[in-house]
Structure 1
Amino acid sequence: MSTPNNDPIYRVQFVSNGERYELYVRELSQGSLFGFVEIGDFVWDTHTSVVVDPSHEKLKSEFSDVTRTYVPMHNVLRIDAVKRQGTAKITPISDKVTAFPNPIYTPKKE
């Protein structure tokens, strides 16, 4: 679960399709697309136990052929540099989470 070398590991939490994704990656940048965070070099947990987390397996299959993904900045909840890799997971969003930011320009009602 720890890194074999001194490369930093980032825990990226973001919202997608009404769910909160938590991924561990080694590459993180602002990206070349304006308004997007570029993440790559995904770090997956190698299960040594019999118990398998279905949300972790869903993430592995969803990102199996992906080398980089671009997440809209307004969907990112948090980015942490961590010492140890945890388990990637998908969790449902509670009703208390609100979308941010709201649209700046709204059409005028006439």
Structure 2
Amino acid sequence: MSQKPLYKITFLNAGKIYELYARRVAGSALWGFTEVAELVFDTREGVVVDPTEERLRDEFAGTRVLHLPMQSVVRVEEVERRGQLAIRDAATGEKVVTPFPMPPRQPPR
């Protein structure tokens, strides 16, 4: 039995470039949109190695299908294996680092 294809989708969202993986990409029934479904995330339990992965998993939790405007899709690649997910600054291309939660700063006394 052949395995379903895996796609790397790069798209622009709110001034950032998102890189996600999905099993299904197609033209949407909504005119001018690209349909992305069956998002692929690392499902291993335990220590979180990549906070970006957790942020994206939380952001897209419960999402069955993304309908992305065609003009926001930068690239769709069929890949052999899943790589690291990323959120990049659209202007510089540098990876946006998701900081770990910090306790609130106490005002000086």
TM-score class normalised by the smaller sequence:
0.7 to 0.9
| Alpha-carbon shift at residue 53 of structure 1 (Å) | 1.4
Which runs of 5 or more structure 2 residues have no equivalent in the other structure? Answer: 94-109
Which runs of 5 or more structure 1 residues have no equivalent in the other structure? Answer: 97-110
After the TM superposition, which parts of structure 1 deviate over 3 Å for at least 4 consecutive aligned residues? 46-51
Matches within 5 A, 1:1-110: 6-47=3-44, 50=47, 52-95=49-92
Determine what percentage of the aligned residue pairs are the same residue: 36
Rounded to whole Å, the distance in 2 between the matches of 1:77 and 1:47 is 29
The residue identity in structure 2 corresponding to 1:89 is A
TM-score for both structures, normalised by structure 1: 0.75
Describe the SS at the equivalent of 2:78: strand
Describe the SS at the equivalent of 2:91: coil
TM-score for both structures, normalised by structure 2: 0.76
Rounded to whole Å, the distance in 1 between the matches of 2:47 and 2:92 is 33
Name the Cα RMSD after superposition.
Answer: 2.1
Rounded to whole Å, the distance in 2 between the matches of 1:44 and 1:28 is 16
Q: Is the contact made by 2:10 and 2:73 (CA closer than 8 Å) also made in structure 1?
A: yes
Q: Is the contact made by 2:9 and 2:22 (CA closer than 8 Å) also made in structure 1?
A: yes
